[in-house]
Amino acid sequence: MGRAICELFAAEGARVVVNYSASREAAEEVAAGIRANGGEAVAVRANVAVDAEARALIEGAVERWGRLDVLVNNAGWSKVTPHAKLDELTDEIWDRTLNVNLRGAFYCMRAAAPHLKQQQGAIVNIASVAADTGAGSTIVYAASKAGLISMTKSFARVLAPEVRVNALSPGAVHTRFAGWPEEIFPAAARRSPLKRIATVEEVAGAVLFLACGATAITGENLRIDSGLTVLGPA
């Protein structure tokens, strides 16, 4: 999803900072592809769960490009852990999930806020329908995304009227995230009202809408899940 978001924003004329924590090769590939197509992009390593690194990421973007208009909090981590096996949900999984998914988003929003206010900018937080269903890869992952949606509303109040803050909740999207087995994706497609799952390009389009087109929307959470949420638990 991060690749699709970066490429779409670059195609629309944005100068893009591609953040990565461990996937340097993939991030450099995305940035190089954008530059090859005439855009402007740079890959920057930062662990957003560390306040100093999140601040350096934001300040580096402003120093390089002279301004900051949009922040997309797409960093996320999870490890598939059966919900019923409570003892397998270790403190390590709890800490890493909350540090990346929730604390990292807070650090980035806090660092970006003064710059975004100058540009009447926007923030889009990538949450998950797990926040609504309580399902997903782990109990703590669902909780972290519910917390992110709540924090989205808080920041929408705090940063208004200059900055709009919204969340986007994908359902099943065919990516490598969390190492889900391949069979879950066609199963989700068969179950959904639309008989398919959202693509990464559709997720990117929704992010672009919230960041640039939804000029009267703030504090909201947009689901992009082919209608799976309305069906309730499987």
Catalytic residues, which ones? 141
Q: In angstroms, rounded to a whole number, what is the distance separating the alpha carbons of residues 234 and 217?
A: 31
Instruction: Output the six-digit token pair for 39.
Output: 């855009």
Q: Are 226 and 197 in contact (CB under 8 A)?
A: yes
Contacts of 145 (CB under 8 A, 6+ apart): 101, 127, 128, 130, 131, 136, 169
Contacts of 21 (CB under 8 A, 6+ apart): 45, 46, 47, 48, 75
By CB atoms closer than 10 A (0-12, 13-18, 19+), residue 194 is exposed
Q: List, in sequence order, the alpha helices (H) in 37-129.
A: 51-65, 91-98, 104-119
Among 78, 65, 214, smallest CA distance to 140 is for 78
